[in-house]
Amino acid sequence: MSTRAQTVRRSAPRRAAARRRAVRRRRIGAILGAALVTGLAVALAWPSFHHAVREIALPLRHEDIIRQQARAKDLDPALIAGVIYTESHFRDGQTSQAGAEGLMQITPATARMIARKSGGVAFTVEDLGTPQVNIAYGAWYLRYLLRRYAGNETFALAAYNGGEGNVDRWIDAAERRNQALTIAAIPFAETRAYIQRVEDAKAEYRRSYARELGL
C-alpha cells in the first residue's frame, strides 16, 4: 500500500471524529439557543402572566372610584376593596337572596336610609347597579358604622354583615358580663368569618395594589 493511501486511512477516523464533534457542537448550540429564546420569552411574558394570575386570585376593578370615595369618606381604600372582594368578588350585578345589590351588597332598605341621611333625594334602587353609586353608598355606610362604633373596625364590619341591632345586643351582653366583645365572642359564625375574610383581603390589597389604591 502506498504511503498516500496509508495517510488517507489514518486520517479518515480523525475526520469522522471531527465531524461528530462538529455535529455535537451544533446540537449543543441549538439547544442553548432554544433555551435562551425560551428564557427570554418567559421573562417577557412573566409580568403579564403574573398580572393575570393576580387578577384572578385578587381582582381589582373601579380603583379610581375606590380612591375617590376613600378620600371623600376618610377611609382606607384597602378596606373598601376588602369589603367589595368579600361581598361580590368585584363582580358587577350581584344580587343576594336577601336582596342586597351590587359590588358592596347593599340592601334597598339600607340604601334608602343612606340616601335619606346623605341627601340623595333622586336615588332609586336601580342606582345600586351603578358602580359609582354602589361604592359611594357602601363607603358612606362604612364611615357611618365606624363613627357609630367609635372607630372600632371589628364592630363596624360585624354590623355591615350582621346588622347594627345584633351588634348592639352583643356589645350590651358582653358589657353585662364585664367583658369586651371580641370576634370569637360574636354568636354568628358567618359574621365571625366575614370579619376575618375582610381583614385578610384588606391586608392583601395593601400588599398587592398599593400603587393602584394610592397607598
CB of 201 closer than 8 Å to CB of 93 = no
DSSP 8-state class, residue 15: H
Report pLDDT for 121: 72
**Interval 171-204: pLDDT, tens:** 999 999 999 999 999 999 999 999 999 999 999 9
**Interval 129-178: pLDDT, tens:** 999 999 999 999 999 999 999 999 999 999 999 999 999 999 999 999 99
Report pLDDT for 28: 72
Name the H helices within the chain: 3-57, 63-73, 77-88, 108-118, 131-148, 153-162, 164-176, 189-208
DSSP assignments along 130-149, one per residue: SHHHHHHHHHHHHHHHHHHT
**Interval 109-124: pLDDT, tens:** 999 999 999 887 788 8
Query: What global pTM score does this model have?
Result: 0.74
**Binning pLDDT at 50, 70 and 90, where does residue 27 land?**
confident
**Interval 29-70: pLDDT, tens:** 677 666 666 556 445 544 544 445 555 689 999 999 999 999
- What the block records as the C-alpha cell of 132 is 359609582
Give 37 or 82, the one with higher predicted confidence. Answer: 82
Query: Rounded to an integer, what distance in angstroms lies between the CA atom of residue 120 and that of residue 94?
Result: 22
